Chain A
Amino acid sequence: QKEVEQNSGPLSVPEGAIASLNCTYSDRVSQSFFWYRQYSGKSPELIMSIYSNGDKEDGRFTAQLNKASQYVSLLIRDSQPSDSATYLCAVNGNAGNMLTFGGGTRLMVKP
């Protein structure tokens, strides 16, 4: 079983809709959670971090964390074609500063 699981997609949503990306993790002691966006042919770029249960909002992005259920999600409101990318979930456990990445979910926002 992979430590961080994501549906590979593609997840296709129409422009203006809400895109919901999900991630589950296996290490219960994980403390920090991150969402990276990676455009095709580019490097991962940090867009959100979340450390405590609940929601964290930043513009059109909302990260949600539920440690009891071991899942973290990313909501993108008013999706735009420019949001089309692969979204990587990353988790930091108790192993120093190492991040474990999920396989990523490819999001396609259609005009």
Chain B
Amino acid sequence: DAGVIQSPRHEVTEMGQEVTLRCKPISGHDYLFWYRQTMMRGLELLIYFNNNVPIDDSGMPEDRFSAKMPNASFSTLKIQPSEPRDSAVYFCASSNSGLGMETQYFGPGTRLLVL
């Protein structure tokens, strides 16, 4: 299995630009999670989906952030407009309710730098 795939791996953009992060979960996994990690705040859950449906988005910092999961194999996290304080590593993770839904497998992350 290829594991969770994220793209791009690195993104440098200017303040005000739109940023789109992409994630492909492990095939057969029915849960998908988006996290953000910074030195100051650690690893924070932003939103998670079950069977492509958003279940809890209480961690999404503000309206500039949006996430979609149009099908079981693809999800996006969009920031529009981006701000320097959005600079962080964004992780996508997936899990399988049949095997223990709390066991989450993380992708390699996207390192975002907003100038």
Contact = CB atoms under 8 A, between A and B. Distances in A.
Interface of A: 32, 34, 42-46, 49, 88, 92, 95-104
Given A44-B43, A49-B102, A102-B42, A97 B95 contact: yes
A52 to B, nearest CB: 14
A46 B43 contact: no
Contacts of A103: 42
Nearest to B45: A98
Given A43-B91, A104-B42, A97 B31 contact: yes
A45 B95 CA distance: 13
A97 B45 contact: no
Contact of B106 (A43, A95, A96, A104): A43
Contact of B109 (A43, A49, A88, A97): A43
Most chain B CB within a 10 A radius of its CB, from A46, A88, A100: A46
B48 A97 contact: yes
B56 interface: yes
Contact of A96 (B55, B104, B105, B109): B55
Interface of B: 31, 42-45, 48, 50, 55-56, 91, 95, 97, 100-109
B43 A42 contact: no
Contacts of B43: 44, 88, 101, 104
Contacts of B108: 42-43
Contact of B56 (A96, A102, A104): A96
Contact of B101 (A88, A97, A104): A97
A75 to B, nearest CB: 21
B42 A101 contact: yes
A89 B69 CA distance: 28
A106 B106 CA distance: 19
A58 to B, nearest CB: 14
15 contacts: A34-B102, A42-B108, A43-B108, A49-B102, A95-B56, A96-B55, A97-B31, A97-B55, A97-B95, A98-B48, A98-B56, A99-B102, A100-B45, A103-B42, A104-B43
